[in-house]
Amino acid sequence: MESIFITFEGLDGCGKTTQAKLLKDFLEKENYRVYLTREPGGTILGENIRNILLNFNINIHPWTEALLYLSSRVENSLVIREKLKEEYVVICERYIDSTIAYQGYGRNLSIEKLKELNELVTFGLKPDITILLDIVPEKIFIRKKVLDRIEKESLDFYYKVREGYLKIAEEEKERIFVVSGELLVEEIHRKILEIILRRLKRVKL
């Protein structure tokens, strides 16, 4: 078996949770050991941080927001590293790219400083493959019925975040694969499987 670290990225409502679960179910049927996690969250401390970050009744300074996300990432990264040592396929909803896209491009914080902090809190860990599910920002407000603190941001904010994601993908083409999040769920799943199975040296679907 081979350990591999896969992340799902994209705007809120792009389908990350659905596709991460579908991928997990498929790989487990193929006898892979799979560990599914998310950010912010993934650990007891991380889930408590998540509750603070998504609470729309709390006003949070952009740097406080970034550092809370990064604090959650420290704890989650420690668990991910252990799972990879045990030859799990690790699937994580959001990771380092979310910080650059949301807090860097969206909040206009220093991208260089955020990259340095990401390197620090992940202990140098990077995903092997990142699936970026790309949707137009308007879809967020159509798909989401109840909005949290981040999801209540303006359309302009989400256009900046999307632009950030696409710039990151352009810079790291070998790691990041852009898949339209506006296709049918089954079609998105098929495209993702083609990418992942190719990496796992399996027969292409």
Residue 13 belongs to domain with CATH number:
3.40.50.300
Judged against a pLDDT cut of 50, whether residue 21 lies above it is answered with yes
Quick one: pLDDT at residue 203? 39
In this structure, what DSSP letter does residue 89 have? E
pLDDT digits 0-9 by tens, 176-186: 999 999 999 99
φ/ψ (deg, to 5) at 32: -85, 145
Distances (CA, A) of 191 to 85, 91, 136, 162, 204: 28, 16, 19, 20, 10
How many whole angstroms separate alpha carbon 82 and alpha carbon 77?
Answer: 9
Least reliable range by pLDDT among 54-68, 72-86, 93-107: 54-68
Give yes or no for residue 1 having a pLDDT over 80.
no
Query: Is residue 153 situated within a structural domain?
Result: yes
Structural domain containing residue 35: 4-199
Count how many domains the chain has. Answer: 1
- For residue 130, being part of any structural domain is answered with yes
More confident residue, 168 or 154: 168
Candidates 19, 24, 62, 7; CA nearest to 177 is 7
Q: H helices within the chain, ranges in order?
A: 16-29, 44-53, 62-85, 96-98, 111-121, 138-143, 155-171, 185-199
- Looking at residue 205, what is its pLDDT? 39
Residue 204 lies in a domain: no
- Report which secondary-structure segment, H or E, holds 132: strand 129-134
CA distance 13 to 196: 22
Q: What does the alpha-carbon distance between residue 1 and residue 137 come to, in Å, rounded to a whole number?
A: 38
- In which band, very low, low, confident or very high, does the pLDDT at 57 lie, cut at 50, 70 and 90? confident
pTM, to two decimals: 0.92
Residues 152-173, mean pLDDT to the nearest whole number = 94
In a domain, 138, yes or no: yes
**Residue keyed to tokens 């670290």:** 5
174 in a domain, yes or no? yes
Q: Any idea which residue has 């260089």 for tokens?
A: 112
